[in-house]
Structure 1
Amino acid sequence: MSTAKKKPLPLTLRITKYVNTIHSKMTDHLIMGEAVPSRHSMIHGEIVVVADPGHSGPGKSAYVRLCSCTKVDPDTGKGKLSKKAILRHVKTTKDKGLNITVYSVKFKVEAEFGIPGAFLITNEHKHKFFLQSATFEVSSVEIIHFDCQSWVYPIRRTKTDRIFFSNTCCLPNQTPAAMVELRREELHSVRGDGTGERKEWERIYEYDHYGDLGNADQGHDHARPILGGNQAHPYPRRIRTGRTCSNNDPKTKSQPKTIDLDIFVPPDEQLHPKKLLELLSNSIQSAVHFIVPEKKSLVKEDSGSFDSFNEMLEVFSGNQGQQVEKVPDVVRKMAPNKQLKRMIRAIKTVQAKFPLPQIIAEDKWAWKDDREFARQMIAGINPARIQRLQEFPPYSEIGEESSIEAAHIAHNLDGLTIEQAMSQNKIFILDHHDYLMPFLNRINTKGICAYASRTLLFSSRDGMLKPVAIELSFPDSWSDEEVHEVFVPASQGIEAALWQLAKTQVTANDSAHHQLISHWLHTHAVVEPFIIATRRQLSAMHPIHQLLRPHFRDTMHINALFRHILLNSGGVLEKTLFTGEVSMELSSELYKEWRFDEQGLPSDLLKRGMAIQDLESPAGVKLIFHDYPYGEDGLDIWIAIKMWVSDFCSVFYKQDVHIQSDEELQAWWSEIRNVGHGDKKHEKWYEMKNLADLIEALTTLIWTSSALHASVAFGQYAYASYAPNRPTLCRKFIPEEGTVEFAEFLRDTDRYYIKMLPRRSEMTLWIALMEVLSQHTSDQEYLGQRSMVQWTDKEEVHQLFMKFERNLRDIRGRIRERNKNPELRNRGGPAKIPYELLLPNITDDRSTAGIIGKGIPNSISI
Structure 2
Amino acid sequence: MFSGITGIINRGEKLKGTVVLMQKNVLDVNELTSIKSNPVGGIIGGAIGGAFGAVGTVLDTATAFLGRNVALKLISATSADGSGKGKVGKQTFLEGVITSIPTLGDKQNAYSVHFEWGSDMGIPGAFYIENFLQHEFFLVSLTLEDVPNHGTINFVCNSWVYNDKKYKSDRIFFANKTYLPSETPAPLVYYRQEELKTLRGDGKGERKEWERIYDYDVYNDLGEPDSKPTLGRPVLGGSSTLPYPRRGRTGRKPAKKDPKSESRSGTVYLPRDEAFGHTKSSDFLAFILKSASQNIIPSLKSVVSKEFNNFEDVRSLYDGGIKLPTNFLSNVSPIPLFTELFRSDGASTLKFSPPKVVQVDHSAWMTDEEFAREMIAGVNPHIIKKLTEFPHKSKLDSQKYGDNTSTITKEQLEPNLGGITVEQAIQNNKLYILDHYDIVYPYLRKINATETKAYAARTILFLQNDGTLKPLAIELSKPHPDDDSYGPVSEVYFPASEGVEASIWLLAKAYVVVNDSCHHQLVSHWLNTHAVVEPFIIATNRHLSTVHPVHKLLLPHYRDTMNINSLARNVLVNAEGIIESTFLWGGYALEMSAVAYRDWVFTEQGLPNDLLKRGVAVEDPASPHGIRLLIEDYPYASDGLEIWAAIKTWVGEYVSFYYKSDAAIAQDAELQAFWKELVEVGHGDLKSATWWFKMQTRAELIEASTILIWIASALHAAVNFGQYPYGGYILNRPTKSRRFMPEKGSAEYAELSKDYQKAYLKTITPKSDTLTDLTIIEVLSRHASDEQYLGERIEGDLWTSDAQPKEAYKKFARKLAEIEEKLVKRNADESLRNRYGPVKMPYTLLYPSSEEGLTFRGIPNSVSI
Instruction: State the TM-score, normalized to the length of structure 2.
Output: 0.88
Alpha-carbon distance, 1:158 to partner? 2.5
Unaligned runs of 5+ in 1: 1-37, 333-343
Could you say which residue in structure 2 is the equivalent of 1:242? 251
Question: Residue 536 of structure 1: which of 542, 546, 551 is its match?
Answer: 542
Aligned equivalent of 1:662? 668
Say if 2:15 and 2:114, in contact at 8 Å, map to a contact too.
yes
CA distance in 2, matches of 1:669, 1:585: 27
> Are positions 1:692 and 2:699 aligned together?
yes
Quick one: which of 341, 358, 369 aligns to 1:351? 341
Tell me the residue number matched to 1:45: 18
Judge conservation of contact 2:846–2:859 (CA < 8 Å) in 1.
yes
Q: Which residue identity lines up with residue 184 of structure 1 in the other structure?
A: Q
The equivalent residue for 2:789 is 782
Aligned partner (choices 253, 269, 285) of residue 264 of structure 1: 269
1:474 aligns with 2:475: no
Write out aligned runs for 1:106-121 (5 A). 106-121=114-129
1:479-522 Cα shifts (integer Å, max 9, x gaps):
32210000010111111000000000000000000000000111
- State yes or no: 1:148 paired with 2:157: yes
1:481-500 matches, within 5 Å, as 481-500=487-506
How far, CA to CA, are the matches of 1:687 and 1:75 in structure 2?
Answer: 37
Q: Which residue of 2 aligns with 1:727?
A: 734
Q: Which of 225, 231, 234 is 1:216 aligned to?
A: 225
User: Which residue in 2 is equivalent to 1:18?
Assistant: none
Is 1:750 aligned to 2:754, yes or no?
A: no
**Structure 2: distance between partners of 1:77 and 1:324:** 70
Q: Do 1:326 and 1:350's aligned partners in 2 also have CA atoms closer than 8 Å?
A: no
Code of the aligned partner of 2:848: P
- Residue 658 of structure 2 corresponds to 652
Which residue does 2:810 correspond to in 1?
802
Tell me which amino acid in the other structure corresponds to 1:828.
Y
1:619 aligns with 2:598: no
Pairing 1:362-373 to 2, within 5 Å after superposition: 362-373=360-371
Q: In the alignment, what sits opposite 1:718?
A: 725
2:33 corresponds in structure 1 to none
Deviation sequence 1:615-665 (CA, Å, 0-9, x none): 344533221122001110111111111110100000011111111110001
Matching residue's letter, 2:629: L
- Match for 1:201: what amino acid? W
Distance 1:132 1:460 in 2: 56
* Residue identity matched to 2:332: V
Deviation by residue 1:185-218 (Cα, 9 ceiling, x = unmatched):
0011111222111111111111111111111112
User: Residues 290, 488 of structure 1: CA spacing in aligned structure 2 closer, same or farther, 3 A cutoff?
Assistant: farther
Alignment match, 2:616: 610
1:645 is paired with a residue of what secondary structure? helix
Change (3 A) 1:300 1:285: closer
Residue in 1 that maps onto 2:347: none
Q: Does 1:65 align with 2:73?
A: yes
1:379 — aligned with what? Answer: 377
Does the 8 Å CA contact 2:391/2:407 hold for their aligned counterparts? Answer: yes
On the 8 A contact 1:323/1:351 being kept in 2, the answer is no
With over 3 angstroms needed to count, the CA separation of the structure-2 counterparts of 1:323 and 1:103, relative to structure 1, is: farther
Which residue of 849, 854, 861 maps to 2:857? 854
Residue 171 of structure 2 corresponds to residue 162 of structure 1: yes
1:347 Cα offset (Å): 8.4
What is residue 10 of structure 1 aligned with on the other side? Answer: none
- The 8 Å contact of residues 41 and 139 in structure 1, kept in 2 or not, is answered as no
SS at match of 1:216: coil
The corresponding residue for 2:587 is: 581
Q: Distance in 1 between matches of 2:111 and 2:559?
A: 25
What whole-Å deviation, never above 9, does each CA across 1:106-154 have from its counterpart, x for those lacking one? 2232133333222222122222222233322234532222332222222
Describe how 1:246-645 pairs up with structure 2 within 5 A. 246-256=255-265, 260=266, 262-275=267-280, 276-280=282-286, 282-283=288-289, 299=301, 301=303, 303-316=305-318, 328-332=329-333, 349-352=339-342, 353-398=351-396, 400-479=404-483, 480=485, 481-617=487-623, 619-645=625-651
Query: Cα offset for 1:423?
Result: 1.4
Counterpart residue number, 1:7: none
Q: CA deviation at 1:330?
A: 3.1
What displacement does 1:583 show?
0.6
Rate the CA distance shift 1:206–1:377 in 2: closer, same or farther, 3 A. same
Shift in CA distance, 222/286, structure 1 to aligned 2, threshold 3 Å: closer
Change (3 A) 1:88 1:39: closer
Task: Answer with 436-445 or 850-859: which moved more.
Answer: 850-859
Q: In 1, distance between residues paired with 2:451 and 2:238?
A: 33
Q: What residue is the counterpart of 2:36 in the other structure?
A: none
Say whether the 8 Å CA contact 1:191–1:205 is kept in structure 2: yes
Q: Match of 1:570, SS?
A: coil
Change (3 A) 1:322 1:677: same
Asked if 1:760 is matched to 2:733, the reply is no
1:230–1:570 distance in 2 versus 1, CA, 3 Å: same
Output one character per residue of 1:211-261: Cα deviation in whole Å (capped at 9) or x when no partner. 1111111222111110111121111111110001111111111122xxx3x
Q: Amino acid of the residue matched to residue 202 of structure 1?
A: E
Match of 2:116, SS?
A: strand
Structure 2: how far apart are the matches of 1:415 and 1:345?
60
- 2:117 counterpart SS class: strand
Structure 1 stretch displaced more, 720-729 or 93-102: 93-102
Deviation at 1:822, TM superposition (A): 0.6
Give per-residue Cα distances to partners, 1:761-803, cap 9 Å, x unaligned. Answer: 1110010111111110011001011112221101111111111
Alpha-carbon distance in 2 for matches of 1:191, 1:557 = 18
Deviation of 1:753 after TM superposition, in Å, equals 0.6
| Alignment of 1:830 onto 2:820 | no
Q: Which secondary structure does the structure 2 equivalent of 1:833 belong to?
A: coil
Question: How many Å separate the matches in 2 of 1:533 and 1:291?
Answer: 37
Shift of 1:286: 6.3
CA distance in 1, matches of 2:82, 2:614: 61
Gap change, CA 1:50 and 1:550, over 3 Å in 2: farther
What's the RMSD between the two structures over aligned residues?
2.7
C-alpha separation in 2, matches of 1:303 and 1:769: 19
Contact 1:305 1:754 survives alignment (8 Å): yes
In structure 2, the CA distance between the partners of 1:86 and 1:321, relative to structure 1 (3 Å rule), is farther
Distance (Å, rounded) in 2 between the aligned partners of 1:325 and 1:115: 68
CA contact (8 A) 2:87 2:121 kept: no
CA, structure 1 residues 790+327, in 2 after alignment: closer, same or farther (shift >3 Å)? farther
How much has 1:309 moved relative to structure 2? 1.4
Mapped to 1, the partners of 2:285 and 2:127 lie a distance apart of 32
The 1:281–1:581 alpha-carbon spacing in structure 2 relative to 1, beyond 3 Å, is closer
CA separation in 2, counterparts of 1:291 and 1:396? 40
Aligned to 2:138, the other structure's residue is in SS state strand
Cα 1:99–1:853 shift into 2, 3 Å: farther
Counterpart-to-counterpart distance in 1, 2:119 and 2:335: 51
Distance 2:276 2:213 in 1: 17
Residues in 1 aligned to 2:728 and 2:136: alpha-carbon distance in whole angstroms = 38
CA distance in 2, matches of 1:248, 1:268: 33
Change (3 A) 1:361 1:347: closer
Write the letter of the residue equivalent to 1:835: Y
**Change beyond 3 A, Cα 1:323–1:168:** farther
Counterpart of 2:203 in structure 1 is 194
